[in-house]
Chain A
Amino acid sequence: MTASNHSSNTDDDVVVIEQIVQGNQQAFTKLVTKYHRLVRVIIWNFFGKSIDPEDIMQEIFLQAYLNISKLKERAKFKSWLLRIAYNECVDSARKNRPASSGFSTEDLAEKGIYLEDVKAQDQFSIIAAWNLLANLASEDRTIVWLKYVEDCSYSEIFAVTGISETVARKKASRAMQILRERIKI
């Protein structure tokens, strides 16, 4: 994501949040549409396909909706929302569910042909990579995803997970090293 795109996106968020605070509550649906995929990804990294995400997504966006007027740094809405999602997943995992592996070949079969394309182009099995990731803690998996799939900086990862930049670097480095060794690229 380029700096100008990022700035434009956060500017858009600031405008929408201002509309919501001024009373246009329906404007919140714009933020739901924009960020629901990322919220799903956070949930998926914790629980995989083992749950129905509807309730937990409603809870996450409801918390965001009810507290949005208290958000001081509106340009950082994305990190703030993902922090809510991350905390909700941690709480939910603690209360209701044992730690889930999150991933399975069944999950990844949805990507089917496309994954095979990736495999052919990059000469390694990404399915094997994610099977390996399944053995990581959900925390490590979330860090790898945010860093290498969503292009988040370590400071953003800290904002979302509360894991310090130094520790997050170590975790990401260790996870990627394990992956490299396992799949033997």
Chain B
Amino acid sequence: MNCSAVKDLFSQHADSDSDLTKNSDFVRHISECAQCRSDFESHIKLVKALKKGFSDFTPWPDQQFNFKFPVQQNKKESIVDVISRFITMSWKPLTTAAFACIILFLFYFGSHNTPVCDFYLKTGRLVDIAAQSQAHDGKLSSRSFLAEVESQICCSLSDSSSYFQSRVSQDSLFSIKQNEIALEDGMLWIIHRDIPVKIAIPGAKISIIGTEFLVVTHGDSSLIRIFEGKVELIDSKKITEIKSGENYIYELASGTFVDMNESLQATWDRVIKSPAKALKALHPAAGHQVPVQNQQTDKSPDSQTNSSLEKPPKTFAPASETLNKDKEPESTLENSQELINPVEGLGN
């Protein structure tokens, strides 16, 4: 081994995967060649000095760095983002102005054409909380309601071009606002088509397009489960996309999601069978207190019978026919009460 080859081996010094002291050729040469021995000692000194001098060195020590989280997460680039990107490029001002005019034009006409949705009670019984009276069939005004029995609510546009249907479980508390259902407590099952309706839960709103999903809310916790399609959950901090098959409890306090390993059908069955017990178990770790109202009004056989819902109008396209077959109840019932498949009556 010549001096040049030995010097090349210096770079292996301090390697975890090679030990120069076990390289007999290297050791022999170092012991015989005074120049290489001196160079190797210098190399070791230099390595030690570099390590000692700079291992704790932090560049720009006076500048604190605080990472800024992006506002939106898991969200595909919107048309606004695309246009913003184009504008920031070196386009001529005239082109930018033309874009701005088009956007203003679209915004002006778009805002005037935002459809208004009318909500109707289709089946079941709702109590108008403010009026302390039973809500009649027909249009539901912007008020708060308590579902005395499992009920069906529909929403349609003025031109009847599209609509959605939903079921609310017995004892659900919710309010109707313009283009919005705010679920305060209980369970809501949505089969939805292209209609600008949002579902509000404590601390967040769910923006939905052409999907079918289930929302259960109790206290500050909400369970969101998607049958198909996807929804966007919008809170004050971010927009989160939840896709089909994902199963979350959304915690208002922490603004985070906790995965919940339970099928949608099992959740529905559990809540229908015993709302108080099911809602209490919604967040096992927290052990929520169950409202008195729920504890006293577990589903009775009578209300089970009454809750059979009507077939939807012909214009309604079911989210999935196969859903009825695929989503057989997973839980076995201990009593003889027949549970209602929530999709039944909404589909077909």
Contact = CB atoms under 8 A, between A and B. Distances in A.
Interface of A: 22-25, 28-29, 32, 36-37, 40-41, 43-44, 49, 52-54, 57-58, 61-62, 65-66, 110-111, 114-115, 118, 121-124, 126, 129, 144-145, 147-151, 153-154, 169-170, 172-173, 176-177, 179-180, 183, 185
Contact of A177 (B7, B55, B259): B7
Interface stretch (B63-71, B96-104, B163-171): B63-71
B57 A111 contact: yes
Pairs A-B, 5 closest by C-beta atoms: A44-B59, A173-B11, A185-B42, A23-B257, A122-B49
Contact of A149 (B11, B16, B50): B50
Given A53-B59, A126-B49, A185-B42, A173 B69 contact: no
B177 interface: no
* Range for the number of chain B residues in contact with chain A: 35 or more
A185 B11 contact: no
B256 A53 contact: no
B50 A49 contact: no
Given A36-B65, A40-B59, A153 B257 contact: no
B299 to A, nearest CB: 33
10 contacts: A22-B259, A25-B69, A28-B67, A49-B59, A114-B53, A126-B49, A148-B14, A176-B47, A177-B10, A183-B46
Nearest to A110: B61
Contacts of A28: 67, 69
Contacts of A49: 59-60
A172 B11 contact: yes
Contacts of A32: 65, 67
B48 A53 contact: no
A54 B46 contact: no
Interface in B144-168: none
Interface of B: 7-8, 10-12, 14-17, 39, 42-43, 45-55, 57-61, 63, 65, 67-70, 73, 256-259
B7 A173 contact: yes
A176 B49 contact: no
A153 B12 CA distance: 10
B42 A25 contact: no
A148 B50 contact: yes
A149 B12 contact: no
Contacts of A149: 50-51, 54-55, 57
Interface centre among B46, B51, B257 (most CB of A within 10 A): B46
B10 A173 contact: yes
A66 B71 CA distance: 12
Given A36-B65, A173-B8, A180-B43, 9 more contacts: A40-B58, A40-B60, A41-B59, A122-B45, A122-B49, A124-B49, A148-B14, A149-B51, A183-B46
A54 B47 CA distance: 31
Contacts of A123: 45
Contacts of A24: 256
Given A54-B63, A62-B70, A176-B46, A37 B58 contact: yes
B52 A118 contact: yes
A69 to B, nearest CB: 9
A150 B47 CA distance: 11
Given A25-B69, A66-B70, A177-B7, A43 B59 contact: yes
Contacts of A151: 14, 51
Nearest to B47: A148
B17 A176 contact: no
B48 A122 contact: yes
A172 B8 CA distance: 9
Nearest to A118: B53
A25 B254 CA distance: 11
Interface centre among B12, B51, B65 (most CB of A within 10 A): B65
Contacts of B73: 25
A121 B65 CA distance: 34
Contacts of A177: 7, 10
Nearest to A47: B59
A176 B43 contact: yes
Contacts of A148: 14, 46-47, 50-51
A36 B256 CA distance: 25
